Amino acid sequence: MSHYSVVVIGAGQAGLAMSWYLTQDGVDHVVLERDAIACDWQHRRWDNFTLVTPNWQCDLPGFPYDRGDPHGFMTRDQVHQFVLDYAASFDPPVQTGTTVTGLTQSAGGGFKITVRRSGSADLLHADQVVVATGGYQKPLLPRMAERLSRSVFQLHSADYRGGRQLPDGAVLVVGSGQSGAQIAEDLHLEGRPVHLVTGSAPRCARFYRGRDCVAWLAEMGTYDVPIDAQAGGVAKRENTNHYMTGRGGGRDIDLRAFALEGMQLYGRLASATGTSLTFEPTLERNLDHADSVAEGIKDLIDAYIEREGIDAPGEARYTPVWRPPSEPTSLDLSDAGITSVIWCVGFATDYSWLRAGVFDGEGHVCHQRGVTSVPGLYFLGLPWLHTWGSGRFASVGRDAEYLHTQIMTAGQKSQAA
């Protein structure tokens, strides 16, 4: 049985950031990756994907962003290469093609980890483990997807690459979070007839008063507020991210403007059978809610500018360019010429391999800033692990640094004992 002081599971930006800190201190460790380094950036984003956060936020430990256009937005392939280059900068001990199939606490202390490589099983032992597999592992599909006619092509957002995958005809996109709104935009720009089922996702203006809103919020410290200081506390972890886009140098996504250009919008999807769909009359409420969140963010920026005496240009507030003349409550896919449905309804975590008492009754990880109640078991790279920035490049390094300190302290106590 191979033994390591620390085993890191996952070789995305979170796992690599953790490895960087461990490498600096010469800690004996290994990073286990089921596929290849940063594979999700290459295989689970569409062709025209761009970051929604500006490039300057891509700041990893020992590897600040220095590739030009700091206020631009890297494409999928550029992000993938950025993370690969990060790994090459310090040569972390990554074992690719290694799937973790089980993790249990060892009777003698530490953890036993079973892995599969090329069809064969192996067993490792670690004093401490960092789970850095992220929070978006298992694509979710609602049960109603099973009830749609087999004549309709269905795809989850994780598998969407572009209109080239889809049969000719109109497309129904279900979900208006970041992925849904951007995929709807992608198909709309391609000239496809698009029908979009909206939800309660908020939106944010791309720019306001002369700057990217992300820059304002970062300067205001919004991304650094701990989750336990947020209204609602840990319930924030269930929040949907604001939709905007980095495409074309960055711009708003305004679903009302899309409607003026011919996109068909609906409220929450209530049922689906064959080719018949029904919707709840929530469209106008959803659009108003998204706008109110965007305007509320502008209120915070205005207050900050005034409080700090910043010289920033004024800007008129948004006025809705379209309102639904009625609330559509039904749709027949065949009658509308819809041949494809793309489900943009999120992901679930998959910790079926992890056998340790760190989950609540709904399967969520119980932790405090990534530290669990099981000594030596940590999580990194989860949305809202500690702050809003935890699930982004911007703060994953800071979270890794914190856990590195916990790991070193625990290791020192173990040696002293």
Read off the pTM.
0.95
Give the span between the Cα atoms of 391 and 413, in whole angstroms: 30
Q: Which amino acid is at 81?
A: Q
Tens digits of residue pLDDT in 63-111: 999 999 999 999 999 999 999 999 999 999 999 999 999 999 999 899 9
Tell me how far CA of residue 327 lies from CA of 275, 285, 335, in angstroms: 19, 10, 18
Q: What is the pLDDT along the chain (417 residues), one digit of tens a residue?
A: 799 999 999 999 999 999 999 999 999 999 999 999 999 999 999 999 999 999 999 999 999 999 999 999 999 999 999 999 999 999 999 999 999 999 999 998 999 999 999 889 999 999 999 999 998 889 999 999 999 999 999 999 999 999 999 999 999 999 999 999 999 999 999 999 999 999 999 999 999 999 999 999 999 999 999 999 988 888 788 788 899 999 999 999 999 999 999 999 999 999 999 999 999 999 999 999 999 999 999 999 999 999 999 999 999 999 999 999 999 999 999 999 999 999 999 998 999 999 999 999 888 999 999 999 999 999 999 999 999 989 889 899 999 999 999 999 998 877 776
Give the span between the Cα atoms of 278 and 392, in whole angstroms: 36
Tens digits of residue pLDDT in 13-22: 999 999 999 9
Strands 111-117 and 120-131: antiparallel
CB burial of 58-89 (b: ≥16 within 10 Å; e: otherwise) equals bbbbebebeeeeeebbbbbebbbbbbbebbee
Sorted by sequence, the CB contacts under 8 Å of residue 219 that are 6+ apart come out as 304
Give the span between the Cα atoms of 17 and 21, in whole angstroms: 7
Q: Where are the domains of the chain?
A: 2-137+349-416, 139-343
Instruction: Evaluate whether 2-137+349-416 and 139-343 have a shared fold.
Output: yes
Tens digits of residue pLDDT in 268-319: 999 999 999 999 999 999 999 999 999 999 999 999 999 999 999 999 999 9
Identify the CATH class of 139-343: alpha beta
CATH number of 2-137+349-416: 3.50.50.60
